[in-house]
Amino acid sequence: MGNINSTTATLTSGHSALGANTFNTTGTSTFNPWNHPERIEVREVGESIEMIYKQTSSFSRTGGLPPYPDERLYKIVYSCVDGKWNKSEPIFGKIIPAQGEYYEFED
């Protein structure tokens, strides 16, 4: 799987004032602000398989104490189409925090 939401930049360096010894260097760099995904669940849904992943950002927010990283969730769906495996693009979802325990009593 490639980088999801990566940024590509090209850098050219060199200076014409250096005369005959000038040089130009061009390169491409990919920046991915997300850590390696963690597979958290595998679901069999009908005739397809869903792999669910969670990622945390490489950077932490400083708005709270202690600083915390952003998290995101996505799934990849694998299915058989015309006798060949098909892999979907990432399908992003949202993380719903676990609900707290509560109690109910009859009067």
pLDDT score, position 21: 52
Q: Using one digit for the tens of pLDDT, what is the confidence trace for 1-60?
A: 444 544 444 444 444 455 555 556 667 777 778 889 999 999 999 999 999 999 988 877
Structure tokens at 4: 């999801």
DSSP states of 1-28: ---TT-EEEEEEE--GGGGGG---EEEE
Average pLDDT over residues 89-98: 91
